[in-house]
Structure 1
């Protein structure tokens, strides 16, 4: 019987099966060359995992095999063979070890052959690699002491004890303390993460508590917060409210002004800017040093090809955090982009991620979803309201600030100055006689805060409050919430409705002009879950409605009659409501709206009588009160 030695497959079958069968038929004579070839058992593969200088090194080896033979062994498995022909001519069987090695390589986003020389990964992958090694007995794991220590530290995420700063002007709920501890644990290990709590659970407050703690611990560099333009001044207001000891600066304005501000960031504890301005100023930012960079509404970088995403990933920082209630809106690649900002390399390249996870998960192939979860779960903290219901009140109220800018601000200041001058030049008797005219002027100011289109038909620019409102709407809808949106100006509801329609968001609108029949039909539609947003005017929806399908309430413009505002909120927050209701009050910062809000506690009766719709009390409405509402000099 003759054979070609180059025919490895025939040789393998001859040595493993053929010789035994032939020996049953008679005497088998072997050549010296054939006698020298042996079939060896599969080797025991080993993985050495070491951590050094914040890098994880993973290297594959095998007892009794040279690096060249191990490469042949892996290549044979890659070609779907059941054996490998070594450099000595011997044949070696392939077993579960080869499959386990390729599985590990695939999980790490590398080629199995690359493991022979060792690959370097972010140390943040340590817990994932440890779990992968623990899942198979086909690979012998050799973990060094640094690797084991890193695993222990990652296992303690959120369990380290960091004291909440006594100077924080808020009491954290139980789950918020957990979030604060988690953020502190991550930064202690030099790692970043995504705080992905549901809207209304206080992501901003938890981050402010963490920043405050790090500053009090001796931060050498400032924190940079990047957020949507409509939320810049809400961030500064929240920082001033909860951590007044911090030096905070909003980096806004003209290019020259921003350049000066960025050059001086070291003078502040926290600087806040918008995504668009960060993109424009990235060359200045890369020259600075930040203790941490925080991206709020981090879905803004979900497309890695945008200039904003590319700029964000250039920002210099000790650690990076992302805040978003929706880390995945449509595709898994969005999660990859956020992690590429947080910890580049953890999820591999974009192409390898698509191959390893995105396509398999979307097609429900194998355990790809479980593997991805194992990789990212240490660095994502997400709680929904149902998870923390024991810590929540029945109603969460939050004031959201919008800063007027551009043409809207110019219009507001011009009208505020004009009204202030008119009132200042009026004697007490004249003021008393013209009080109704003054009230009309104050209403005009409030309309400009909402949207100048309410008073100026030819107004072409935007509205800061409308933009902020839409941020809230998108955040709520992305989190699966249902919204009641109140305004006392029906014209404002029309403007909001046009914006919703433009963005393909279905809505209902109830005003005083709605018939009883249409009113009942709309309520039934909303309660049945057919439409996610319900626009309601004060007069039409203040009483007599049961809308417990909503768990988010937005008051677009403040109702200075607090009782009327609470009554509107109670359309959702009433018997039959099974979820915590989150109530947002939109306020234009540094305007009549904010001043009346501040005045509510000291002069509640005045505010209600002047602007609450219950009539005007001449005894309470004074010239000095109006000047106070106008900010004195109008600034």
Structure 2
């Protein structure tokens, strides 16, 4: 039996051995003045083994209190809380006093950053749920010193392996915040400093089973950004109906181009103060697609679809009405950022093309030559009528020559020699990887051997 307690910023353990209804202190093994022998029923060797294990966590002895303790060593106390209790449970029953239970290891720093704009300044209000502001600087110092934990004044231990602390430190350094302002929690900064706040956003991916997604949505107020797909939004739309957001941003907005689809209706159900739509193709086939996107952004801006079709879409499409076209351009132009292909091409580097010729080794060349002779023999035996009749067969033979050039193994399963083209390709791949580059590799044949001989990793 392990009896754990905590008092005066110290942790202690009383160790008893239980035999049936009888319970004895294992401390007898430490008493050098013990004259009388131990009771026969006691398993002295086993008790000594467990005592040795316990003393690794509680090395100090208090004879008067008949207990072991950590000697106010915070590293030992942290070890007891982090993994010591689990270790003791492997050898017996563990009972803890309420004082011991009140000591916790906090594994995550919960930070909230309130952001507002006023008079051209960015107002930040940093709050932490579990860490008093006056201790936040000391916590960051301990984290930067690569310590495993920080002992809060409350007695709790904060595990210093949370990326939030790194981001807080980076925020403080990048924005040149004074310790006084940082501890105070309220700061006034230029608006361009908002770029540093992206990393502090808490992002939640709405994925998993229906029940898992529902549970995540129930906790949506604990996160800054929710990410989902059109398909999952359609399935979960009922769970969104009672929720409100500041922003709703849809990517690939052409997915809602048909205003009658479930996806289009779903995104318009979400309650938000601001809406953004991102797409490279706002119009693919018809003007109604543009109307659907604007109906999401600003319902009614392009009127109802019935009016839009009568006054704008039909006159433009059927009659080429320039007045209707100019009217639509004036209404939508301010909301569309358009880059022409000619503009984009100016920013792109020149295309560099290198053609590398590879000479086949003897085994591969021998197979290629044999295939050429085989084709020549076949063609020599055919007249014009047979030639036109067997065009498909001839094309297949030419294809076989191309395959042999890439790798004879594409045609002959028992081919075990090297392929000059494949080996050259692997060398180029390895050279690029060594230089820290990524590659997009195209092959004439999907059955080409996979480029894994050089230890390359790649998606299929």
Higher relative contact order (CA 8 A, sep 6+): 1
Structure 2 length as normaliser, TM-score?
0.36
Q: For the pair shown, which has the larger CA radius of gyration, 1 or 2?
A: 2
